[in-house]
Amino acid sequence: MKKIAVIISNRQAEALRVAAGLTLLDDAVDIFLLDNRLNTVAEPLIFKNIQMLNMIESVGYFYNFKDDSSFYNKFIFLSNTMIAKKLLDYDYIIKY
């Protein structure tokens, strides 16, 4: 089983779609949301993809900004330094 990190920056809907597809390979997929909140208003597919990913238990969620919204309750806050150290453990890192 491979460990895959998907880093979300600009193309949020596409990154989440790819992350969902990667889970079909039975690989461990972690999603890193960096510096930006998910734009669920402009792109409804983002919300739909997050709902689908929430049903998959093997997906980890991490972000590097403070947010009290309940939308991010599955996400774990990590500092940039902690994210950099964590990324060293992955076999593949995909950035969108």
CB 7 within 8 A of CB 96: yes
pLDDT along the chain (96 residues), means of 10: 92 91 89 84 81 81 74 82 96 96
CATH number at residue 77: 3.40.1260
CA separation (Å) from 35 to 45, 58, 94? Answer: 20, 23, 16
**Spatial CA neighbour of 19 closest among 41, 52, 63, 65:** 52
- Residue 46 has a pLDDT of 85
Report the alpha-carbon distance of residue 88 to residue 5 in Å, rounded: 10
The boundaries of the domain holding residue 70 are 3-95
Report the alpha-carbon distance of residue 82 to residue 71 in Å, rounded: 22
Domain count, the chain: 1
